[in-house]
Amino acid sequence: MDLVKQYVKKRNSQFFASIVLAIVGVVANLFSYVYMAKIIVNLINKNASLEFYFSVCLIILLMFVAKEIAAGVSSAISHTATFNSLGEIRNDISNKLFKMPLGDVMSRSSGELKNIIVEQVDSMETSLAHLVPEFTANLVGPILLLVYMFLLDWRLTLLSLIPLAIGMSVMMSVMNDNYKDMFQKSVSIGQRMNNAIVEYINGIKIIKTFNQSSSSYEKFSDAVYDNAQFYCDWMGQSMNRVAIGRLLSPMGIITIIPFGILFYMNGSIDLTSLMTLIVLSFATVSSIVKIMNYMDDLSRISTITGEIEKILNSRELKNKEKGYEVKEFEIELENIVFSYDGEGKIIDDISLSVEANSVSALVGPSGSGKSTIAKLIAGFWNIDDGKISIGGVDTEEMSLERLSSLISYVSQDNFLFDISVRDNIRLGNKEATDKEVEEIAKKSGCHDFILNLSNGYDTIVGEGGGHLSGGERQRISIARAMLKDGPIIILDEATSYIDPENEAIIQEAISNLVKGKTLLIIAHRLRTITDVDRIFVISNGKLENFGTHSQLLDKSDLYRQMYEASMKGEE
């Protein structure tokens, strides 16, 4: 509930206005019953004044109109405030994901994150838009009526509440400690279903390729049916008591009529008060039963907000803006240590220097830590010990936005959004004109193949760039990074999917585009980095050696073996 309070507090005036109007609507509706009771009493007393009945009916009509207007305006205000709050929550989650270590984000499945950001945030709409104003109004209204009923006759008022108290206690027995556990299970099983759906859709190509449709669909269908069965079983356990409670709650007439007749016959209550209490007992109970409709939301809101708060309260990268101006772009790593889980060291006391405006490369066996080093420089994780600096400024003393603006990062696992080719490239610089986008595409060797697409630069690339080949996706990613024009460029296996006939074009394009910049390359094809200024050989998280290609052939057995194996592989 703290999360709900946090976002309600930001729009106090709107939610307060919504609550006031909702109370006005509920009170207008409830007190229309008072005038209905007057009509009944006057009919019993054989009052034949049409003017009286007309005036009372007009008052009832005005109260119904007031109720509908107040409820409509209240709902409009609360929904406006709610959807703004939900948008803000989603923005806060997105900003939080940007500030979290990459490993913490990647440890959550896309299905789980989608469930939290979409379904669970959506489920807060009921709590914010309806629970805040309507629960409050349906609580205040009956209290006012009960006060009025107690003034008429406290004995009958208490008697009318006996069935309500029994019915509510039966319904509330559903909302025990087990309910929270069950709702938590419902969230978990829902997330498993989401994960299975996302996995099935994302893996459909592999499923078809290896003819695994039956087993994969079985996993998907089992998750869906498990989710449905869980809710059927849970509702089956709960609905009997809820039905009994709803049956008993409005039965106040069973106690109020016999005792009311008894009190009337002994003269301790007049007919007007008796009829008014009978009518008002229906109105009061119906409003209180409406409150019960929101008890389910109250019980599960803590679980819903708990999942969201886990993300919003997750640890962040340590970066902070100190206002330092970065004028040079050399990269220094000083005794850095890093592990993903706090135990096994992936990077163990590495120190190296990448000179400004130079081309350097990180090489090493698979799993040696070279890509991890590139990601640490880019600020995807914080190091456990040591220091990474750019231009003499500790990267942890820069904001993430500032650090991101300095580095253009292209990985082998490039990702394109389901928008046009032009807009995917323009992500590197949203202010770039169409002409600038096309110029950078020409320099990156993309222009010709883009023109051959169905709609040229306006071709929609599909989810993840699925309508393009791996090489085409990489070339667009390179163009996007170059358009960003960051002073530091990191290419993490960025040319691994480039076919041989286009490799020379891409290498030449990269050479032209990185002039005057600091370039760091991670590559398996050692032939492509023989001309770089400096090569760092990484082995088991340590710096094994460094130097030029020719120097390393002489002094590094590991590099020489890797180079020879690479050349044989290409042959």
Q: What is the pLDDT of residues 70-89, one digit of tens each?
A: 988 988 898 888 888 888 88
Among candidates 363, 514, 522, which has minimal Cα distance to 440? 514
Write the CATH number for 210: 1.20.1560.10
Number of structural domains the chain divides into? 2
How far are the Cα atoms of 33, 43, 278, 298 from residue 38, in angstroms, in the given order?
A: 9, 9, 12, 37
For residue 56, count CB atoms less than 10 angstroms from its CB and return exposed for 0-12, middle for 13-18, buried for 19 or more.
middle
> 126 in a domain, yes or no?
yes
Distances from the Cα of 112 to the Cα of 4, 196, 227, 260, 545, angstroms: 21, 10, 15, 58, 42
Is 347 within 8 Å of 337 (Cβ atoms)? yes
My answer on whether 179 and 32 are in the same domain is yes
List pLDDT tens digits, range 312-339.
888 888 877 766 778 888 999 999 999 8
519 SS3 class? strand
Task: Provide the Cα torsion 57, 59, 60, 66; round to 10°.
Answer: 150
Sheet holding 359-363, edge to edge: 407-411, 488-492, 518-522, 359-363, 534-539, 542-547
- Residue 247: inside a domain, yes or no? yes
Question: In this predicted model, what pLDDT tens digit does every residue of 273-292 receive, in sequence order?
Answer: 888 888 777 777 776 766 66
Residue 286 and residue 352 share a domain? no
Residue 545 belongs to a domain:
yes
What average pLDDT does range 364-374 have in this prediction?
88
Percent of the chain beyond pLDDT 70?
Answer: 81
Specify the DSSP element, H or E, that contains 543.
Answer: strand 542-547
Rounded Cα–Cα distance for residues 339 and 382 (Å): 10
Question: Are residues 336 and 308 part of one domain?
Answer: no
Name the residue type at position 543.
Answer: L
pLDDT at 215 over 60: no
Is residue 495 within 8 Å of 532, Cβ to Cβ? Answer: no
Please state, in angstroms and as integers, the Cα–Cα distance from residue 324 to each residue in 99, 328, 398, following that order. 20, 12, 7
148 and 283 co-located in one domain: yes
Classify residue 317: in a domain, yes or no. Answer: no
Domain boundary residue, one of 312, 340, 368: 312
* Of the residues 246, 278, 312, the one at which a domain ends: 312
pLDDT beyond 60 at 8:
yes
Checking if the pLDDT of 495 tops 70, the result is no
The answer to whether residue 323 sits within a structural domain is no
Residue 184 predicted with pLDDT over 60: yes
527 within domain boundaries = yes
Q: What pLDDT is attached to residue 422?
A: 92
Q: What is the mean pLDDT of residues 126-148?
A: 77
Distance CA 560, CA 535 (A): 12
For residues 339-361, give the mean pLDDT: 86
**pLDDT tens profile 30-73:** 778 778 888 888 888 888 888 888 998 999 899 889 988 998 89
217/354 same-domain check: no
Report if residue 444 sits inside a domain. Answer: yes
d(CA 21, CA 129) in angstroms, rounded, equals 13
Are both 221 and 185 inside the same structural domain?
A: yes
Out of 312, 347, 363, pick the residue that ends a domain.
312
The residues, ordered by sequence, that sit 6+ positions from 353 with a Cβ below 8 Å of its Cβ are 330, 331, 332, 333
Same domain for 60 and 173: yes
My answer on whether 345 and 447 are in the same domain is: yes
Residues 281 and 340 in one domain: no
Whole-angstrom distance, CA of residue 432 vs CA of residue 425: 9
Q: Closest by alpha carbon to 26, among 291, 247, 252, 250?
A: 291
What is d(CA 380, CA 88) in angstroms, rounded to the nearest whole number?
A: 24
pLDDT digits (tens, 9 = 90+) for 164-180: 778 777 766 666 656 66
- Domain hosting residue 368, numbered range: 331-570
Is the domain of 194 the same as that of 233? yes
CATH of residue 440: 3.40.50.300
**Do residues 282 and 345 share a domain?**
no
pLDDT of residue 146: 82
With a cut of 80, say whether residue 123 has pLDDT above it: no
* Residue 322 resides in a domain: no
- Pair 191, 249 in one domain: yes
